[in-house]
């Protein structure tokens, strides 16, 4: 192939990619968030090419609908880092929409983790969560670890079908008092769910108080604190302090009274153990440095080993890539998270999602019957 033809082919592929990115950005802004003329939209990102490229496309899509975008850059952040004070201050101005497109994480809220917001008996250790879930003044989506390829593949999806799947799952989980999950690799665990309400990440973030990931595509629930019993075998990918890793040797985690008591496997298991230990050490250090209230360091340290979430993926465009933002949405999988939960009653510095393939899930209802939620990675209603 001549140099001229190579250039033409490469330029054509570049233009096609740019068109797909622009389309995905419009879907996010118009279909998911339903941004309206005159609204204030804060976009927080990093000076990292992948996420900055998406942020610029989203910025342009916001301008196209007549809203007012503000693009704010901060250094790359990890699970343990604080976000910049300027980011917290910008969120505190209560824009209509907050979007986070981060290479890893947005970062923790230094002021709120030390002095949490309290409302309706719940404690919020971030200004974003307080405004979103507490007083419901803003709407939002956040995409930790997003890439251009992931964004253009998994954001333009059939949101109506996704919403139906998420709602069906939500009804099943909300009616349950406990759930049993197993898979062929050895997962066999039971969690209590009585009194818990599940959450849906269906991509509809059009009303104040709604928010979630893009790509969207999961229904998830926080187990009753201290209730999980059994074994989880993570066999897809898992999030650690240093980022997400693909699992070659399955990680076998044993749970008693809701907490991790042993971790077995290969190098991946050692890395998970190291992250949990680091989370506990850092929690106590945060208290010593005045970043957590007295005795909260021990609470955060203990919850570094708590089972905080069960989620079920429904995004049929997602695939396992080693990027947890996408991996946890893959249809036919479920994921568990070790660390903080979504009912704000088990705070931790970490929330480590890990993937389990082809799960079978049964829900025990209030009247004692068992209803199928998923059978070997497929929904029973399909």
Residue 183 has pLDDT above 90, yes or no: yes
Q: List the CATH number of the domain containing 90.
A: 3.40.50
Which range marks the domain in which residue 248 is found? 158-374
The model's pLDDT over 17-71, given as tens digits with 9 standing for 90+, comes to 899 999 999 999 999 999 999 999 999 999 999 999 999 999 999 999 999 999 9
Structural domain count of the chain: 2
Helix (H) or strand (E) holding 63: helix 49-64
What integer best gives the mean pLDDT of the chain?
95
Q: Tell me: do 306 and 352 sit in the same domain.
A: yes
DSSP state of 83: P
Q: Collect all residues with Cβ–Cβ distance below 8 Å to 343 and sequence separation of at least 6.
A: 122, 196, 222
Domain end residue (candidates: 125, 146, 167): 146
114: left (phi over 0), alpha (psi -120 to 50) or beta: alpha
Same domain, 171 and 129: no
Calculate mean pLDDT across residues 69-78: 97
Residue 7 scores a pLDDT above 50: no
CB hemisphere CA count around 380 (13 angstroms): 13
State how far the Cα of 264 lies from the Cα of 233, in Å rounded to an integer.
9
Does any domain span residue 380? Answer: no
Give the alpha-carbon dihedral of 217, 218, 219, 225, to 10 degrees.
-150
Q: Which two tokens stand for residue 343?
A: 């009912």
Q: How confident is the model over 219-259, as pLDDT tens digits?
A: 999 999 999 999 999 999 999 988 899 999 999 999 999 99
Q: 382 falls in which pLDDT band (50, 70, 90)?
A: confident
Block residue for tokens 């989980």 = 173
Instruction: Give pLDDT tens digits for 332-363.
Output: 999 999 999 999 899 999 999 999 999 999 99
Within a domain: 152: no
Whether 110 and 228 share a structural domain: no
Residue in this structure with the two tokens 């496997």, named with its chain if needed: 265
Q: In this structure, are 133 and 272 located in the same domain?
A: no
Answer whether residue 207 is part of any domain: yes
Q: Please choose, from the candidates 61, 246, 66, the residue with its C-alpha nearest in 3D space to the C-alpha of residue 141.
A: 61
Residue 281 lies in a domain: yes
Together in a domain, 168 and 103: no
> Global pTM?
0.88
- On whether residue 32 sits in a domain, the answer given is yes
Indicate if 184 and 93 belong to the same structural domain: no
Bridge pairing between strands 199-201 and 237-240: unpaired
In this structure, the answer to whether residues 141 and 210 fall within a common structural domain is no
Q: Is residue 288 part of a domain?
A: yes
Cα dihedral sign, 77-80-86-91: positive
Cβ atoms 109, 87 nearer than 8 A: no
């Amino acid at each position: 192939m001549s140099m001229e033809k190579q250039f033409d082919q490469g330029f054509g592929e570049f233009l096609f990619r740019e068109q797909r990115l622009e389309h995905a950005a419009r879907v996010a802004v118009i279909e998911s968030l339903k941004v309206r003329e005159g609204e204030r939209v804060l976009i927080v990102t990093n000076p990292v090419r992948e996420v900055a490229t998406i942020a610029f496309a989203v910025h342009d899509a916001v301008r196209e609908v007549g809203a007012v975008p503000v693009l704010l850059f901060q250094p790359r952040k990890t699970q343990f880092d604080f976000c910049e004070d300027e980011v917290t201050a910008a969120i505190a101005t209560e824009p209509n929409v907050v979007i986070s497109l981060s290479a890893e994480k947005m970062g923790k809220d230094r002021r709120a983790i030390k002095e949490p917001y309290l409302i309706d008996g719940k404690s919020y250790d971030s200004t974003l969560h307080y405004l979103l879930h507490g007083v419901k003044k803003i709407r939002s989506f956040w995409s930790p670890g997003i890439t251009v390829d992931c964004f253009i593949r998994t954001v333009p999806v059939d949101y109506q079908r996704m919403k139906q799947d998420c709602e069906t799952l939500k009804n099943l989980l909300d009616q349950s008092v406990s759930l049993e999950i197993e898979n062929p690799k050895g997962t066999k665990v039971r969690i209590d769910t009585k009194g818990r309400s599940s959450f849906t990440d269906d991509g509809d973030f059009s009303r104040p108080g709604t928010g979630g990931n893009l790509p969207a595509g999961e229904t998830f629930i926080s187990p009753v604190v201290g209730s999980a019993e059994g074994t989880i075998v993570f066999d897809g990918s898992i999030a650690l302090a240093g980022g997400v890793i693909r699992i070659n040797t399955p990680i076998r985690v044993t749970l008693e009274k809701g907490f991790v008591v042993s971790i077995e496997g290969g190098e991946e298991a050692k890395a998970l153990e190291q992250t949990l230990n680091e989370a506990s050490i850092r929690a106590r250090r945060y208290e010593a440095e005045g970043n957590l209230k007295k005795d909260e360091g021990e609470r955060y340290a203990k919850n570094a080993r708590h089972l905080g979430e069960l989620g079920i993926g429904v995004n049929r465009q997602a695939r396992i890539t080693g990027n947890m933002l996408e991996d946890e949405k893959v249809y036919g999988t479920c994921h568990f998270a070790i660390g903080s939960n979504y009912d704000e009653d088990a705070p931790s510095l970490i929330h480590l999602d890990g993937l389990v393939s082809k799960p079978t899930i049964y829900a025990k209802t209030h009247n004692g019957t068992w209803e199928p939620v998923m059978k070997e990675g497929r929904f029973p209603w399909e």
